[in-house]
Structure 1
């Protein structure tokens, strides 16, 4: 990975389009890498609504010879990064641009619904959607199962939101930076039991881009490369009735695959960027990636362990979807933050190892749907 960037994010009420956010992020990522648009021969995009890759590529002035439009929800970008790395290794492309842009917040404010809270109502979901069993209800149901099964507490889940906000406070680009407490989280309006408002991600506009390049292209880049060591992907279920265990996410498959292929262990990671549409996602993904045993996630997230400088495992160092930004399908933002951390570009939220050096290893793990899919990428600095 040689170029990463975000578009303007947060509250965009000036008529900015999703296409423009794609272009803004793409231009910034190319400038970050020091490469010209003409050098991009691979392209991947997916998004809310009807933005097809062929349309976005045309808007960006690209004519790729390799293209990917995989769409598996929030895990899309980790899966696409894996596909791009494979394509580069096979010689099918030399520079692949992954790009995303969404005006999710502006669309809601304007009364435009560009997506649903489910993967639609066809097939098996026709038996769930009519009863209001949409995305947030499914996550809440899974969280409640973990609380019952392992004695995890709602206060422990709230700690995830509190620590995400503490990291966001260090990030000038985060949408919400005011510190919060467990009491603040618990006293908010109930959205779907056991989730109050602050257990849930915010809604924002924004875009991101990541540029991957072949090794012979890397030497022409202005940035130090961050290497893809290993990847894993997994698709689990769509209907809740087909999910064998609500306390196990698909990261339990994609994570071990990625670590094994990378030749490293979870305990070697200096930081983790995890999809956090809800607090429960962070907790269960930590378990399933192997940072703690199943059922021990509640204890793991206590005592500030997820904070930058907290003495544990820094998680979602930009503030995550809970506090930084969440324009839907946020997985690409995880890769941007992981690369920036490994390159030492994060200012006040920069992670340091015990000896004061920059982090060497990071993991980004995206989750799609209601734990329907997962993509995990292990990254390394030279």
Structure 2
């Protein structure tokens, strides 16, 4: 039996993306994401400076996280001067590639009271898959999966956007936190880049986001969602390395398969009542 050859981006020629995407030139996540974000920038007016501001903001968080892979503060110029990977992404706009691992213990609310740590309660969940491959997305300038999964989580939890003290959005590349802010409904379409650029997600901002530095600065071992949940748990417990004061409720947005799949969590330190 022969072995199927691998095409661009490491996809096997007989795979779904190998047959319908790789043969046309995309060479993995940077180019697949790049096509969507370029269209997004054209339609919304989001700028390269705003993309770079995502990386700058997250270094402000990781700067005080000892375990972060990258902790040195950077500027927008530093981002632009980092190596070009695939336009519009410079190196500092791309996630790390690291080893790593994590774990969480999930139990009932009653049993959680017996643990020595502060319980963190799951208020709401949501998940969604839009399509198996990027080229089949209806519109690459937003994620329908983000919108669907987050709506489910908000509805199940019974909280509103104003109740969220802290936000974690999976950030394989710098545009994803911008997409997240918009698709989750925290800001309007085309407003996410400016929201970050103005410092609203940085330390001292109105919506602290990716407070461990995210996949761009903390770590990214391929399954970054685990670290996003762990950081949310630590913030809600009040024991994070770069703690935000007064966090009671955190929203976590995970991404899968580029950005065609999504999962959402609402976490709180307040015991739910029936």
TM-score by length of 1: 0.66
Q: What is the CA distance between 1:118 and its match in structure 2?
A: 6.8
Q: Distance in 1 between matches of 2:66 and 2:33?
A: 30
Q: How many aligned positions are there? A: 260
Q: Distance in 1 between matches of 2:12 and 2:166?
A: 35
Q: What is the CA distance between 1:308 and its match in structure 2?
A: 2.3
Q: What is the CA distance between 1:124 and its match in structure 2?
A: 4.9
**In the alignment, which residue of structure 1 is the partner of 2:254?**
366
Q: What is the CA distance between 1:224 and its match in structure 2?
A: 1.5
Q: Distance in 2 between matches of 1:118 and 1:287?
A: 31
Q: Distance in 2 between matches of 1:175 and 1:210?
A: 21
Q: Does 1:164 align with 2:55?
A: no
**In the alignment, which residue of structure 1 is the partner of 2:23?**
130
Q: 1:340 to 1:154 in 2, by over 3 A?
A: same
Q: Distance in 1 between matches of 2:214 and 2:12?
A: 26
Q: Does 1:277 align with 2:183?
A: no
Q: What is the CA distance between 1:320 and its match in structure 2?
A: 0.5
Match of 2:78 among 152, 168, 184: 184
Q: Does 1:141 align with 2:35?
A: yes
8 A Cα contact 2:249 2:268, kept in partner? yes
TM-score by length of 2: 0.91
Q: Does 1:153 align with 2:41?
A: no
Q: Distance in 1 between matches of 2:65 and 2:17?
A: 42
Structure 2 unpaired stretches of 5+: 1-7
Q: Distance in 1 between matches of 2:75 and 2:229?
A: 28
8 A Cα contact 1:125 1:238, kept in partner? no
Structure 1 unpaired stretches of 5+: 1-115, 353-357
After the TM superposition, which parts of structure 1 deviate over 6 Å for at least 4 consecutive aligned residues?
none
Q: Distance in 2 between matches of 1:286 and 1:118?
A: 31
**In the alignment, which residue of structure 1 is the partner of 2:157?**
262
Q: What is the CA distance between 1:131 and its match in structure 2?
A: 3.8
The structure where strand makes up a greater share of residues is 1
**In the alignment, which residue of structure 1 is the partner of 2:4?**
none
> What's the CA shift string for 1:259-280, capped at 9, x where partnerless?
1110011221111011001000
Q: Distance in 2 between matches of 1:118 and 1:218?
A: 43
